[in-house]
Structure 1
Amino acid sequence: MQTTVRLECLLRNGKTSTGTGFFFSFKLDEKTRIPLIVTNKHVINDSTRGTFVLTKRDDAGEPIVGSYEPVQLDHFESHWLKHPDPNVDLAVFPMAHLLNGAEQAGKNFFFLPLDESFIPSSEVLAGLGGIEDITMIGYPNGIWDIRNNMPIVRRGITATNLKHDYNGLPIFVIDCACFPGSSGSPVLIFNQGGYMDANGNLTLGGTRVILLGVLFAGPQHVAEGEIKTIDVPLQQLSISMSKIPNNLGFVVKSQKLQDFRAQLAAGA
């Protein structure tokens, strides 16, 4: 619950959008870590200003739930490093300078970043089944617990096999309620108290957390709603249409996060 952050963007057209980011960290060596916020390119594209809030921490290093500080950045899109592959909808925000500046001002924030150890190796993937329970954390339609700075948790299952690339792309599909604002949400396997792998081996009393990927899109179908004029043979008709999510989501595989490592390490 302390791993995600709600992103609110002011766009060039004057409209406001919301999305989800989550904290991630690359470990370069025993002393050097690169803290990041991860989201989708389309969440921050055309954003002139971005706002998010960070929970404060006390002297013991624990979160002060309900006490947080807003962070607002101009030229928001320029702060992000975008994945070079147009088929990979990922962007990262290196936040070390922000944290260092806050610390110098006497402000300390609490968050729990994921890291490369949560990205499944080929061996871990081999132990997963074709259908796995998943947990997705984020801010659907911008909804959040504003009093406590907490996200919304959704549950679902994998809709395609994690071992394969859906339609030849580094993505997979989930069966889960996915709405605007959920873009950028981490999709995880999160088992508490025990779990069974694809081979039927049961682990009791353990917790398993695997970062499978990052939600970036969801298919929708059209139903009655907003009035639109469409062309049909020989005439134009005014009909009522709206977009309805069909509870499927497209997820970028978490392995693509590792593509940022070399570029970030060069600038560290």
Structure 2
Amino acid sequence: MSIADQLVHTTVRIECQDAGGQTSSGTGFFFNFCQDSDGQHVPALITNKHVIKGAQIGVFHLNTTGDNGDPAHGEHIPVPITDFEKGWIPHPEADVDLAAFPLAPIFEWVFQTRGKRAYLKSVNREFMALADDLNELSAVEDIVMVGYPNGLWDARNNFPIVRRGITATPPYVDFEGRKEFMIDCACFPGSSGSPVFLYNIGSYANKGGGISLGGRVKFLGVLWGGPQHTAQGAIRVVPIPTRNEPIAFSRIPNNLGYCIKAEKLLAFEEHFERLLKAEKAAKESGDIGSGPETAA
């Protein structure tokens, strides 16, 4: 499977409903934490805190695996979850708009109730662009963003929308002193939580100004928002044209996005490592509790 075909299996469309019945949508992506040489890991779904804020009910769809191990296109299972916001682990830094949802119990539920295994592709630490990787990049790099702008998706096949762009600020520096960078890409509501990837296929310009052959794909970060400008539009009140016309102010995206650098996900890695150590200690002492129930 090509890297492009893998990327479209890294995300899910997150549908939320609050206590008042209002609905919204955003993007989540799969990430494996605490992955070891034996393949053991803690699978999780990552999105922004604001995507799931106030959500009483959440739904996302998981693709299923066919008999040959390939994805069964067109076959996906809705996963409805109540008290949705409570199931998420917020990033420990209040100003970092990230949250993680442990998925192992969900995968078990899918298998036990539907007799199916989920098909997905997860990002992991080895795929992350950390400081050394970022220092090898140029100020302007090609990127792709995978998500659900305005909630759009291929509902039949459970596929996301892929957008293409460039880095708008140098990814090797911290934008405004924060662990962030900007991208020049069409960023609309519903894209929040989308993973952003460095995407070079075939060849790319290296930092020294030369051309390097081969592909280069890395996980750069997570979209959380973007600047907008305001435009005035008249709402025509008819059939009484002599009345004052109320003015509508429309917020229009600037096709720029703010992205949290990939390294900020490492705080979740530390969180899950502590849980796994506590679980191991409990087993060794003979006190077998419920544990984190997150390791695959």
Q: TM-score, normalised by structure 1?
A: 0.92
Partner of 1:233: none
Letter of the 1:124 counterpart: D
Partner of 1:222: 230
Partner of 1:234: none
Out of 265, 277, 281, which is 1:257 matched to? 265
Partner of 1:10: 17
Partner of 2:149: 140
**Residues 240, 90 of structure 1: alpha-carbon distance in 2 compared, 3 angstrom cutoff:** same
Offset at 1:28? 3.8
Give me the whole-angstrom Cα distance separating, in 1, the residues matched to 2:133 and 2:194: 22
Larger radius of gyration, structure 1 or 2?
2
Offset at 1:125? 1.2
Secondary structure at 2:264's aligned position in 1? helix
Contact preservation (8 Å) 1:40, 1:184 = yes
Asked whether 1:170 is paired with 2:182, we answer no
Structure 1: tracts of 5 or more residues without a match: 228-236
Give me the whole-angstrom Cα distance separating, in 1, the residues matched to 2:24 and 2:264: 25
Offset at 1:238? 4.6
Give me the whole-angstrom Cα distance separating, in 2, the residues matched to 1:2 and 1:240: 39
Contact preservation (8 Å) 2:195, 2:221 = yes
Secondary structure at 1:66's aligned position in 2? strand
Secondary structure at 1:25's aligned position in 2? strand
Give me the whole-angstrom Cα distance separating, in 1, the residues matched to 2:26 and 2:252: 19
Give me the whole-angstrom Cα distance separating, in 2, the residues matched to 1:220 and 1:160: 17
Out of 85, 98, 121, which is 2:130 matched to? 121
Alignment of 1:224-239 (within 5 A): 224-225=232-233, 238-239=246-247
Alignment of 1:15-26 (within 5 A): 15-26=22-33
Give me the whole-angstrom Cα distance separating, in 1, the residues matched to 2:234 and 2:34: 49
Give me the whole-angstrom Cα distance separating, in 2, the residues matched to 1:73 and 1:104: 16
Letter of the 1:218 counterpart: G
Q: Deviations over 1:220-265 (max 9, x none)?
A: 11112376xxxxxxxxx95331111111110011100011111112
Higher strand share goes to which structure? 1
Give me the whole-angstrom Cα distance separating, in 1, the residues matched to 2:265 and 2:199: 19
Partner of 1:193: 202
Asked whether 1:130 is paired with 2:139, we answer yes
Letter of the 1:8 counterpart: E
Asked whether 1:51 is paired with 2:59, we answer yes
Partner of 1:68: 76
| Greater Cα shift, 192-201 or 251-260 | 192-201
Contact preservation (8 Å) 2:200, 2:216 = yes
Partner of 2:96: 88
Give me the whole-angstrom Cα distance separating, in 2, the residues matched to 1:188 and 1:133: 9
Offset at 1:159? 1.0
| Greater Cα shift, 83-92 or 191-200 | 191-200
Q: TM-score, normalised by structure 2?
A: 0.84
Offset at 1:102? 2.2
Alignment coverage as a number of residue pairs: 259
Contact preservation (8 Å) 1:226, 1:242 = no
Offset at 1:196? 2.4
